[in-house]
Amino acid sequence: MNSFATSIFVAGLMATASAQALQITSQDIKEGHPMAKTFEFSGWGCDGDNLSPQLSWTNVPAGTKSFAITAYDPDAPTGSGFWHWIAYDLNASVTSLPRGVDIAKLGGQEARIDYGKAGFGGACPPAGDGMHRYQFTVWALPTDKLDVTTTTPPAAIGFTLNKIALDKATLTATYTK
């Protein structure tokens, strides 16, 4: 194969590989853009609607038996970020969540987050702390049930997800108060 043909072959392989990667999209939030107040927490000095955004994902890897969804703020002034949502044990047939989803109605579980309760907790950066990033991640998992409980610490769940995930995709929105 000449160098031109080799280049075309390699480019084709790279395009095929990237087309196969898990992808996450949303009708409510956009990569790198500010979120609406609808997705702000209600409490802790914030008065938003505390609704989770609509999320969809495609290009699910072979072997996926369930999904987890997380929302994480790496910019929180805690030294360890802030977990805003941990939903898991979503059946592999679920590839979309509506705004304000009730995870239990889909057969999934939600773990305790850094607000001290289970469920979605919207953005609520400290006033004057500047822009924060909110990373919404879908995790494709090779197991039906994640080996955690609703009281497992968020960082331990994050470790578990990173250890076993077949693939993950992240959509990062922003928020400033």
Report the sign of the C-alpha dihedral through residues 12, 15, 21, 26, in that order: negative
Confidence of residue 5 (pLDDT cuts 50, 70, 90): very low
Mean pLDDT on 119-140:
97
Number of domains in the chain: 1
Parent domain of 95: 22-175
Residues 113 and 87 sit within 8 Å (Cβ to Cβ): no
17 pLDDT more than 90: no
Say if 4 falls within a structural domain.
no
Provide the 10 A C-beta neighbour count for residue 19.
Answer: 9
Task: Tell me whether residue 17 is in a domain.
Answer: no
CATH code of the domain in which 39 resides: 3.90.280.10
Residue 56 lies inside a defined structural domain of this protein: yes
pTM score of the predicted model:
0.89
Q: SS3 letters for 1-32?
A: CCHHHHHHHHHHHHHHHHHHCCEEECCCCCCC
Categorize the per-residue pLDDT at 20 as very low, low, confident or very high, splitting at 50, 70 and 90: confident
Q: For residue 20, give the nearest of 66, 69, 63, 71 by alpha carbon.
A: 63
Tell me if 1 is assigned to some domain: no
Q: What is the pLDDT of residue 19?
A: 53
Query: What integer pLDDT is reported at residue 150 of this predicted model?
Result: 87
Query: Is 6 inside a domain boundary?
Result: no
pLDDT digits (tens, 9 = 90+) for 48-82: 999 999 999 999 999 999 999 999 999 999 999 99
Asked whether residue 11 is assigned to any structural domain, the reply reads no
Region of 28 please: left (phi>0), alpha (psi -120 to 50) or beta.
Answer: alpha
